[in-house]
Structure 1
Amino acid sequence: MKSELVRQYASQGRYGAGVEVETFDKPRNTIDLRIIIDEGKSAKIKSIKVIGNSIFSDDELLDALELSEGNWFSFLSNSNKYSKETLEGDIENLESFYLDRGYLKYSLESIQVSISQDRKDVFITMSILEGEKYTIDEVNIIGDLPIDENLYQPILDTLNGELYSQAQITQIEEYFKNLLGNEGYTFAEVEVLLRYKMMMN
């Protein structure tokens, strides 16, 4: 119990949290538990570094994250307080940043989170591979759709030659699901399959 509580507090950036568990014997082979918790202060993010980026600047990438290094406004947003959950969300934010700009082969190679000796400061380093940028060459529909082509083909035509954007593709998936839902296909599945062709510079 004690180690699990300490782990939970650590995931919230409270590395200085202290937990003490006291037991008191009671009649009929029962005990009372007293849990004493000192939450301590949340560790603050001292630095966030991204390694491997050459297309986008450090500032552009850091702006896409919810976590941030300390600044004059941190006391209002608490953005410089470390949280494992927020970091996991920022990993997804960084991936979305690249996917929405055509970098389909982006990948997070490694991530390192280190803590200062006094357990007050956190240092985050992310190593990434940006990959190449992709545009949409053509869009094809596989399967027979019980929908008027005029309701979707003009939208698909606008994608040709456009920079790939995951957010846009997700919107189109939802659009098709809604169209099929209106035709009575409530549980219709729409899947986008990608075939890669390297864009020549």
Structure 2
Amino acid sequence: MSWQLVVGLTVALIPIVLAPGTSAILVAQHAATGGWRDIASVMLGTSVGLYLHASFAALGLSALVMASATALTVVKVVGAAYLVGLGVHLLVTGAKAPSTDRTDGTPGRALAQAFVGNIVNPKAALVYLTLPVQFLRPGDSVTVAAFTLATIHIVMLLPWLSLWAFVVRSTKRSQRLRSTTTVIRRTGGLLLIGLGVRSAFTG
């Protein structure tokens, strides 16, 4: 593994990490309505999903999906349906006020939401299929490059999500807890619906 590979992947990941996605929206939701266990579960689900994408890329499964119009359509429809469904759920429950920092068994659900939302995203598969090869030199391993990408992605993403969670939870402690939570959940719901629609209709 060369330093050019690490530097190249790091620079390429900056806009991807900073762009709002499913994980950031889920972190905001659970930061407003749950506790750090829920937030950590979202991060864990995201990390597992990214390593699974790296595994798919290394095994060539992502290439198979991206080369097949039918398979890509199926993945897009499934991913879009999940994101839209999760967004609708947030909109419907947007007025529900959080009680305390109790998790009430939600960390497992938070982990599943983050994992599924990540793994059914065809754009994530495309990133993991195409980005590593841009920085490979003759003799470099595609497998090493794919897992290096996932590791760098996680190392960059987790501090960003932690900062985002801290900001949301600081707002949560204000006197306007109920209204802030409602805005976060409904805004997150709209963003998830938008991400789902965009995933379904963009090439």
**Structure 2 length-normalised TM:** 0.21
Q: Compare the two structures and name the one with the higher helix fraction.
A: 2
Please tell me whether Structure 1 or Structure 2 has the larger radius of gyration of its CA atoms.
Answer: 1
Q: Which has the higher contact order (CA 8 A, sep 6+)?
A: 2
Q: Compare the two structures and name the one with the higher strand fraction.
A: 1
**Structure 1 length-normalised TM:** 0.21
